[in-house]
């Protein structure tokens, strides 16, 4: 019988259980987008996860969304990540890097550049900057001839991730960032080959995945998607049709997994399970939603055909989440005030479960 604690084969990796630590932005990187010793300790504490997916890592300067986030576009950044991956591996874990290009969800005060996107349509809401939240600026629409440069950035960052010791990479195709913007029916108003029809709107995602596969191999490549999610004002009016078409193209590339967020009705997500022939990771909780996922939600989605289950806030506040779920111990709540404040408080200070005599 398959349970959350059954082993699973993911490409060349033997996972000891079916839990995945979901990517979560923590803005603890040093100047220059460098990973730190605290980041190494943070991920190493959570190495009992079947798989860790890192926080979003920008593949280029213009791809940075938030201040304080790490990168994978310089040799120095690669060297800084080697301490993180080494710590995770020393503790028996496995870790993928999530490659995240923010696209229009950025600000010149953060990157020194005007953000880019598929079209000159601003994100809805305020974006983080070094001086605090500011209204999202209108991005510059990428020229057709420029798009391959941003496609290639994913593959180049993936190569650097493997050089840094990561076991693979996950492309961030969810939550309103660049890939999601191209998939969108309102952020993407292009009339060239990257817009308009479903085939046009999925093209950027497929090309970014293909560039990554060319760089590091299909077995080391995954993608995260949020079907129908409305993050940063992104809309997908035809989420089921769009994502089914996308999965058909990705299946031809033979990638390691697709990681779905529960941002659509269960019927839509189950349909995507049927459409996807490979490994499926499901995050049963909407990011920043009212209730973090727990054992019941995990078991439910395993029963619906998911292969792996990702947890975000559960792993943030419980470095020993696997053991707590296995033994039925209480799962500690998160302190939201420390999500993005920097420092080790609310980062390295969550303890493992202590049995009260």
**Close Cβ partners of 302 (under 8 Å, ≥ 6 residues apart):** 2, 3, 4, 18, 309
Backbone φ, ψ for residue 52 (5° rounding): -100, 135
Q: Is 194 a catalytic residue?
A: no
Q: Judge whether 281 and 303 are in contact, CB under 8 Å.
A: no
- Residue 179 vs residues 156, 262, 332: alpha-carbon distances, Å: 16, 18, 33
Question: Residue 225's closest CA among 270, 261, 256, 198?
Answer: 261
User: Is the CA virtual torsion 200, 284, 26, 18 positive or negative?
Assistant: negative
Determine the Cα–Cα distance for residues 309 and 2; give it in Å rounded to an integer.
12
Side-chain half-sphere exposure of 273, counting CA atoms within 13 A:
21
- CB contact at 8 A, 154 and 147: no
Name the pairing type of β-strands 279-283 and 257-261: parallel
179 contacts 98 by C-beta, under 8 angstroms: no
Q: How far is CA 91 from the centre of its chain?
A: 22
Is the dihedral angle over the CA atoms 313, 318, 323, 324 positive or is it negative?
negative
Distance CA 144, CA 196 (A): 14
Catalytic pick among 154, 177, 257, 350: 177
Angle between helices 203-216 and 239-253 (to 10 degrees): 20
The helix/strand/coil state of 70 is coil
Give the active site residues.
177
């Amino acid at each position: 019988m398959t349970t959350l604690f059954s082993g699973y084969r993911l490409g060349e990796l033997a996972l000891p259980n079916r839990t995945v630590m979901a990517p979560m932005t923590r803005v603890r990187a040093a100047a220059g987008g460098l990973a730190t010793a605290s980041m190494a300790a943070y991920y190493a504490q959570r190495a009992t996860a079947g798989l860790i997916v890192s926080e979003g890592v920008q593949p280029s300067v213009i791809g940075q969304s938030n201040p304080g986030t790490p990168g994978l576009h310089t040799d120095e950044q690669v060297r800084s990540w080697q301490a993180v991956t080494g710590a995770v591996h020393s503790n028996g874990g496995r870790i993928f890097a999530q490659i995240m290009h923010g696209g229009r969800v950025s600000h010149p005060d953060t990157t020194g550049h005007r953000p880019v996107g598929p079209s000159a349509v601003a994100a809805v809401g305020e974006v983080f900057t070094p001086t605090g939240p500011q209204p999202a600026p209108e991005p510059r629409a990428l020229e057709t001839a420029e798009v391959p440069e941003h496609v290639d950035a994913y593959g180049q960052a993936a190569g650097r991730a493997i050089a840094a010791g990561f076991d693979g990479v996950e492309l961030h195709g969810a939550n309103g960032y660049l890939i999601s913007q191209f998939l969108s029916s309102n952020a993407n108003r292009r009339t060239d080959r990257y817009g308009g029809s479903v085939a046009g709107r999925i093209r950027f995602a497929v090309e970014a995945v293909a560039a990554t596969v060319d760089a590091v191999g299909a077995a080391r490549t995954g993608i995260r998607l949020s079907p129908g999610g409305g993050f940063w004002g992104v809309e997908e009016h035809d989420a089921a049709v769009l994502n089914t078409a996308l999965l058909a193209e990705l299946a031809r590339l033979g990638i390691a997994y697709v990681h779905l967020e529960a941002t659509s009705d269960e019927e839509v997500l189950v349909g995507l399970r049927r459409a996807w022939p490979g490994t499926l990771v499901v995050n049963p909780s909407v990011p920043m939603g009212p209730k973090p996922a727990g054992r019941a939600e995990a078991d439910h989605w395993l029963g619906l055909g998911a292969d792996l289950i990702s947890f975000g806030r559960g792993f943030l506040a419980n470095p020993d989440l696997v053991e707590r779920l296995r033994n039925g111990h209480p799962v500690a709540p998160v302190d939201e005030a420390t999500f993005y404040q920097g420092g080790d408080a609310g980062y390295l200070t969550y303890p493992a479960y202590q049995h009260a005599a």
